[in-house]
Structure formats: structure tokens, C-alpha cells
């Protein structure tokens, strides 16, 4: 995804070679899953190896690339990745700027690949606080990939679920039809990249919380929390999480058919 000539990337690749998995055989799962991932642990992955935190974010970007490529083959049609939380502005400016540069690089380099692979890219979150160059790259990538049908990739950048719900609520009073469905439509407008119910939420890095991510959409999602840090998360881990999802009984508050019968 990023130029191999960069010394930092070369060092990172040497350290992560042992963690790379080959792409496994596609799973027989229901098509159309919406999987959301809180890709946590990049910085800790790097510091545990004596590397700068920026190296962890680059390693995480490589992990994201593998997951995006594999997702359609295992039945995922919508994939939402938490790239930058609105709360992350509290971090050192150097780290936030490194993440923003990384996102800009991704959009510039990977847009053509998304077009070839039938990936539609959308960005959810605020755009007024990010650099103008990144903002324009988002607009260009969204327009160029709009025809993608195999996978809808949503990147959450400067995103806060509470803030999105608040802004949707501010608009909602103008809607003539008051219903949960119409509120979801308003929320989709606020998010730009749409609002669809999440089937499976995965969080890496050992933490077990939502961290202001897709609160409305995750109302009935299944959660899988993993201690593995995001740069070490591979296609086999994604497969395993989807298999776990398939084993769970999703009643959405109703009784299972076997009991209700």
C-alpha cells in the first residue's frame, strides 16, 4: 500500500512477516453481512517492539488492506473501519498528523485498486477539522468508486457516534414522518456514507467497549473482542469471527423458534 523504499516500512515489514497469513478458502456464510471493526492496538504494537507509534499505524494500514481484500470472499458486503475517532484529537499532534497523512496516502494510492475490485468507498464523520487536501481526496475517492458493487467500505474519520446522533436529532424535527426508520434515514444523511445496521462488531487490542462507535447501528450487533492487536489481525482471524457470528442465535429480544413453537 505504501512505497517499499521507505525505511520505516521496510523495518515494519521485516518485523511483521511472521504474522502474515495466506488467504484461506472462502467461508460458506450468509451474504450481505455488515462487519464493523474497531482496529485498536497499533501504537502498543509498535512501542512493544521499540518502534515509533507511527510504525504501528502503518502496520495497521497493511492489516486493513488484507482484510478489505478478503472481506467480499467471506460474505461481507459492508465493512466499516474505525480509522480516527473524534476523541483521538486529544492525542499528541504528531501522532494525529501521522494518521491523517497515512489516510491521505491510502486514498491516493488505493482508489484505483478499489475501482478494479468493485469496492465503493465512503467516509463517515466530520470533515471540517481535517486538512483540505485530505478532504478533497475523500471527495475524489468517493466519486471515483461510487459504482463499486462487491463491497461497501466505510472509513470512520473524525467520527463520534454521539455527535452524529445529536446532529441527526437536530434535523429530525423537520421530518414529517416520525419513526425509527425515518430517523435512520436522517442519520444516514448526516453520516454521508449511509447508516446500516451492523451484524458483527469486532474489536482488537484487548479492550471491551464501543468507544463511541456506531451506537445506533450496533443496537443488535454481535460483539467479538480479541486480545490480538490490530497489526497482528489477519484474514484467518476475520474468518474465525464470522464463523463465531454464524454460531450465535440472534433472537433480537424474541424467543428462539424452538422455544416459542
Chain segment 29-52, per-residue pLDDT in tens: 345 899 999 999 999 999 999 999
Q: What is the pLDDT of residue 174?
A: 78
Please report which confidence band the pLDDT of residue 12 belongs to, taking 50, 70 and 90 as the band edges.
Answer: very low
pLDDT at residue 1 is higher than 50: no
pLDDT at residue 209 is higher than 90: yes
pLDDT digits 0-9 by tens, 101-159: 999 999 999 999 999 999 999 999 999 999 999 999 999 999 999 999 999 999 999 99
Q: Is 40 annotated as catalytic?
A: yes
Q: What is the pLDDT of residue 21?
A: 36
Q: What is the pLDDT of residue 245?
A: 95
* pTM for the model: 0.82
Q: What is the pLDDT of residue 253?
A: 66
DSSP element (H, E) containing 240: helix 235-247
Of 246, 199, 238, nearest in space to 218 by CA: 199
Q: What share of the chain is helix, strand, coil (3-state, %, to 5)?
A: 50, 15, 35
Please report which confidence band the pLDDT of residue 195 belongs to, taking 50, 70 and 90 as the band edges.
Answer: low
Quick one: CA torsion of 106, 60, 71, 188, rounded to 10 degrees? -70
User: Contact 188/113 with Cβ under 8 angstroms?
Assistant: no
Sheet with 200-203: strands ordered across: 119-124, 151-159, 76-85, 33-38, 200-203, 222-225
The helix/strand/coil state of 60 is helix
Q: Is 88 annotated as catalytic?
A: yes
Q: Which residue out of 11, 88, 185, 212 is catalytically annotated?
A: 88
DSSP symbols for 153-177: EEEEEEE-HHHHHHHHHHHHTT-SS
Where is pLDDT greater, at 251 or 25?
A: 251
Distance CA 177, CA 147 (A): 31
Amino acid at each position: 500500500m505504501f512505497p517499499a523504499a521507505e525505511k520505516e516500512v521496510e523495518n515494519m515489514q521485516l518485523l511483521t512477516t511472521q504474522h502474515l497469513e495466506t488467504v484461506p478458502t472462502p467461508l460458506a456464510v450468509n451474504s450481505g453481512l455488515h462487519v464493523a471493526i474497531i482496529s485498536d492496538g497499533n501504537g502498543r504494537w509498535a512501542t512493544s517492539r521499540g518502534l515509533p507509534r507511527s510504525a504501528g499505524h502503518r502496520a495497521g494500514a497493511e492489516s486493513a488492506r488484507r482484510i478489505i481484500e478478503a472481506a467480499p470472499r467471506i460474505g461481507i458486503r459492508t465493512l466499516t473501519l474505525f480509522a480516527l475517532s473524534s476523541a483521538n484529537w486529544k492525542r499528541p499532534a504528531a501522532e494525529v498528523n501521522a494518521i491523517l497523512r497515512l489516510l491521505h496516502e491510502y486514498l491516493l494510492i488505493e482508489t484505483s485498486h478499489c475501482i478494479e475490485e468493485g469496492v465503493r468507498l465512503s467516509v463517515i464523520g466530520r470533515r471540517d477539522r481535517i486538512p483540505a487536501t485530505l478532504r478533497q481526496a475523500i471527495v475524489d475517492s468517493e466519486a471515483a468508486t461510487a459504482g463499486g458493487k462487491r463491497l461497501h467500505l466505510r472509513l470512520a474519520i473524525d467520527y463520534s457516534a454521539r455527535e452524529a446522533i445529536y446532529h441527526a436529532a437536530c434535523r429530525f424535527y423537520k421530518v414529517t414522518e416520525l419513526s425509527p426508520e425515518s430517523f435512520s434515514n436522517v442519520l444516514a444523511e448526516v453520516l454521508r456514507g449511509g447508516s446500516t445496521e451492523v451484524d458483527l462488531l469486532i474489536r482488537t487490542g484487548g479492550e471491551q467497549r464501543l468507544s463511541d462507535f456506531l451506537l445506533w447501528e450496533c443496537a443488535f450487533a454481535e460483539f467479538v473482542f480479541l486480545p490480538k492487536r490490530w497489526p497482528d489481525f489477519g484474514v484467518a482471524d476475520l474468518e474465525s469471527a464470522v464463523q463465531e457470528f454464524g454460531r450465535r442465535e440472534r433472537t433480537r429480544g424474541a424467543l428462539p423458534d424452538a422455544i416459542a413453537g
